[in-house]
Chain A
Amino acid sequence: MLSPSLVLLAIFVYGFIGRTVYLSLTDWGRQMALALHPTIHFVGLDNYRELFTGFLDVRFRQDLVNMLYFTLLFVGASLSLGLALAILIDQQVRGEAIFRTIFLFPMSLSLVVTGTMWRWVLQPRGGVNVLPAMIGREPWTFLWLSSRSQYLRFDWQHLPRYLGVGIAIALALVASVGLRRRRRLGPALAGVAAGATLGWALFGPGSHVKLLPFPELHGFNDALIGVVLAATWQMAGYTMALYLAGLRGVPSELREAARVDGASELQVYRYVDLPLLKPITLSALIILGHIALKIFDLVFAMAGPDNAPTSVPAISMYLTTFRGNQLAKGASIAVILLIMVSVLIIPYLVNAFRSRRAELG
């Protein structure tokens, strides 16, 4: 029954991914890149090595940092603003339909339209910055999309060490969760692995591995805040709708019971509603996450293709492929994006499916 869909997806998703992976291992992009039958050589992981350690791919590395930062801020902001809006609207307010529509309609716009709108709103000498001037104050001077200031800067050279520490922390968390569930073998293994990784990263060979022959600082760009604002404006209404549906689905007896037990309104939300909204949060997380990963049109329309402070991997992939004619390198950027998503998404998907099955028996 699934088979027609599966066949289509096999070709359109996995066939094309397979081809992209293959291309990423070649040198397609030399002199005659655009010949009808270009000569392509297999070069192994060269493209990837260049992206992560090449002198000239500093832009790609900053793009990765930007994407991480954007995803965290955008998903976090959309979830919290969406929840706040839902809770406000859930208070049986008058004109609920009007408010709902106002918060929901940005979702119906194309990202290009949103980008064009916000480009105007965030012009340093004509957008929100001049609003204070209208009431006689000094105008703000924040360079929304072009600010070059960064914080939480780190040296890309030492990335293996940071990654090692990160993995060690994650393993330690796994171990502690396991301990709390009173298992033995798992936590012990995880604990040992955590220790080993930490040792490797701080004292062992990991502390000497240098990705680059020179220091290269990357950090979180201020300029992305404008993009986060626009993207949140567009998608918070959607999470609001999801949460609102969830809140209305919470049985009122549960809330009543909590109130009878002397819980304040805030406590009711914290201990009764929020836990029940968890599955919705997960659904929203997937949808927002995939928007964040693929964010392209919005940045392009807001800040243009070459504005490094707001650039993301999807943009450099597009430019590398179609403007720079380096088709193999573009393919490797695409593969890196896919790997990053899979690491985040596949465990969730498998898990969601399994637990559902288990629940249904």
Chain B
Amino acid sequence: MKKVRPGRLLIYAALVMLAAVYLVPVYMTVITSLKAPEAIQLASAWLPPDRPHWQSYATAWDQFAPKLKNSLLLAVTATLLSAALGSLNGYVLSKWTFRGAGVIFPLMVFGMFIPYQSILIPLFQFLRNINLYGGLPGLILVHVVYGLPITTLLFRNFYAEIPDELVSSASIDGGDFFRIYRWIMLPLSGPAFVVVAIWQFTQIWNEFLFAVTLTRPDAQPVTVALANLAGGQAVYWNLPTAGSILAALPTVLVYILLGRFFMRGLLAGALKG
């Protein structure tokens, strides 16, 4: 059932056009980041610079280098922990019937929707009280907790697709709660972990409000450094744009390299609600 050529052409034309439109903001950002500050003018916004001005990247890099390790440590640890907990929660909620599950699940997922600006002050006080203010551990804890709703949601929907017979047959065989998880659910969870991990990694990597409020300078991630590039009374667009590109590279790489797995994870039916 090959399709006719004109139709194919139309499809390609549409795709190429959309892709071009998609790349417009990127083009604009890249050329702006390569301009000298005095050359950034509205009138010439679309034109590439005469000579690339790499200085902005060097400046941005100087500020980012000490923070990259923090971001990496933060994003990786918090992603792994929230994925692990989310997976356990999802397993319980999808495979173990108990009273109140229908209430608990919405209550857990609802956490996704709180506007974080509104809970900043009590959160700060709480972390101070348990002595976790200032460093990465506190920030990791916060990201794990606020990541739980979505990881739980995604894992529950994924596990719901796994036939219950697998679980019940294992139960009859005397498998208990953790053994079923370890030997039946976990081996099947790969795709879900990829989806959840990618989502969480990008969210945590890009988060600013908690990062700037809950840490002291030596524990701050790159988003804070990025904001500082764009701050103050003097905003020269070359710096924030160059910084944006540097700060986005890790997550973009994750997408390019893991995109295949992401798609495969999705294809495995991870997200059927």
Contacts and interface: CB of A to CB of B under 8 A. Distances in A.
A16 B26 contact: no
Contact of A113 (B106, B247, B271): B247
Interface residues of A, number: 95
A111 interface: yes
B38 to A, nearest CB: 16
Contacts of A248: 267
Contact of B110 (A100, A233, A345): A345
Interface residues of B, number: 96
A196 interface: no
B223 interface: yes
Given A2-B89, A121-B25, A282-B273, A321 B117 contact: yes
Contacts of A297: 208
A35 interface: no
B104 A2 contact: yes
Given A11-B126, A97-B260, A105-B256, A233 B266 contact: no
Interface string B1-32: 10100001001101100110011111011001
A341 B202 contact: no
Contacts of A88: 11, 14-15, 18
A128 B46 CA distance: 9
Interface string B94-134: 00110001111111111111111111011100100000000
Contacts of B164: 360
Contacts of B223: 110, 112
A356 B97 CA distance: 12
Contact of A20 (B119, B202, B252): B119
Contacts of B142: 12
Contact of A121 (B28, B119, B271): B28
Contacts of A125: 42-43
A294 interface: yes
A317 interface: yes
Contacts of A31: none
B79 to A, nearest CB: 14
Interface in A296-317: 296-297, 314, 317
A108 B202 contact: yes
Nearest to A19: B122
A294 B207 CA distance: 13
A350 interface: yes
Interface in B128-181: 142, 144-146, 148-150, 152-153, 157, 160, 164, 177
A297 B244 CA distance: 14
Contacts of A131: 46
Nearest to A92: B3
Contacts of A357: 97, 101-102
Interface stretch (A45-53, A204-212, A213-221, A239-247): A239-247
Contact of B248 (A108, A120, A242): A108
Contact of A123 (B42, B118, B177): B42
A85 interface: yes
B272 A280 contact: yes
Interface stretch (A58-66, A176-184, A330-338): A330-338
Interface string B26-53: 1011001000000001110110000000
A233 B110 CA distance: 26
A318 to B, nearest CB: 5
B206 interface: yes
B126 to A, nearest CB: 7
A146 interface: no
Contact of B118 (A20, A93, A118, A345): A20
A83 B70 CA distance: 37
Contacts of B240: 116
B92 interface: yes
Closest CB pairs A-B (n = 3): A126-B42, A110-B206, A334-B118
